[in-house]
Amino acid sequence: MGLELADLFRAYGADYRKKYADKLLPSHRQAMWAIEPCRTERLGGQVYGCPNCQEFQYSYHSCRNRHCPKCQHEQTQNWLKVQQELLLNVPYFFLTFTLPSELRDLVRANQKALYSLLFQASAEAAQKLALDPRYIGGQIGLVGVLHTWTRNLIFHPHVHYLAPSGGLHSDGKIWLAARQHFFLPVRALSKLFRAAFRRGLQKTKLFEQVPSKVWTQEWVVHCLPVGDGQAALKYLAPYIHRVAISNRRLLSFEKRGSMERSLVTFQYRASDTGQLKKCTLSVEQFFQRFLQHVLPHAFVKVRYYGFFGASVRRRLAALQLRLGDPVLDPVEQQPASSQSDYDTPAKILCPTCGLPMIFQRNLSPQQCRSP
């Protein structure tokens, strides 16, 4: 088994929590506590035995924390299956709204409020511009997800949206198709996004902390065609349950007696060249980079707007009938995410003879591994 994030937390998590006891957010502390014992005997599990050669296997429970690299693949697959029910048989666009770098420190210190404002301002900008008859002239639908990191773990808050290329007429019955290969003008979106964020921030005491130049510079907005609904979902899915860093990107861990001196090396792909690069940080610096991407407790990172909103989603069924059914690829079957990790796995094969192993007994947390 290769190096895992949990290995780093088990080695120096307690030291980090002790050093930053007064500054560590509850959500950061909870993420560390959850990830450290993930898939170990500390969480309990089940014992399976082979009836043929007396081999035993141990299946340990997961932490199910949304920031754990081990616990997210299944969540992505199940999200895809649910979202297929919302697809429309039209082309889709992928929109990205990014906050200026001058706002990052303010957002980092006020995450819950300003992440919500980021969603609110970006969705408002897109929906307002879409009502203009020069572009669509109706209500659009948006599926948005918050993303806070670059590939080398730098804090970079932005929101991604999937949007069908068209909207609903005010009567709720007529589909208004967008122009081919064009959805909404990004420069106009940028201005509306900036203005909406400013209005929201003016309602708080935080507005005074923003440099005036932020309100005159152009804010970055992208809008790209991504094909049909199935392709669009696959484009967005990795952002839904992806964590800041996966275990496979961790290359080495060099212990040097303390978290300040010990080193972690991970790889990332440079966004400008596409080449793989390495980044080496002290364990302390690495923890700081990772934990800044842990979301506030109960924060909703996936949100729906327009005709995808829960209050008006009843219109979707009729709209799907008028537009026809999209052609869907089968989603790879995974265990249902609604099932607890305390449920019995579907099948465990004996590593020696290949026969299905038989459940022997449950392991309570911290119980000895001996069968």
CB 135 within 8 A of CB 263: no
When the pLDDT of each residue in the chain is averaged and rounded to a whole number, the result is: 88
Nearest in space to 249 (alpha carbons), one of 151, 174, 348, 340 = 151
Say what the pTM is.
0.86
Q: What does the pLDDT look like over 261-316, one tens digit per residue?
A: 999 999 999 988 889 999 999 999 999 999 999 999 999 999 999 988 877 766 77
Q: Give the ranges where 53-172 is alpha helix by DSSP (H).
A: 73-83, 104-109, 111-130
Alpha-carbon span 322 to 313, nearest angstrom:
15
Domain ranges of the chain: 5-65+344-363, 73-244+293-323
CA distances from 252 to 262, 292, 308, 333 (A): 11, 22, 44, 33
CA distances from 36 to 6, 61, 79, 112, 342 (A): 5, 12, 26, 25, 18
Any idea which residue has 């804090």 for tokens?
155
Structural tokens at position 75: 């969540």
Q: Is 167 helix (H, G, I), strand (E, B) or coil?
A: strand
Please check the confidence at residue 1 and state whether its pLDDT lies above 70: no
> Of 178-192, 215-229, 322-336, which gets the smallest average pLDDT?
322-336
What's the pLDDT at 329? 52
98: which residues sit within 8 A by CB, 6+ positions away? 156, 157, 158, 219, 220, 221
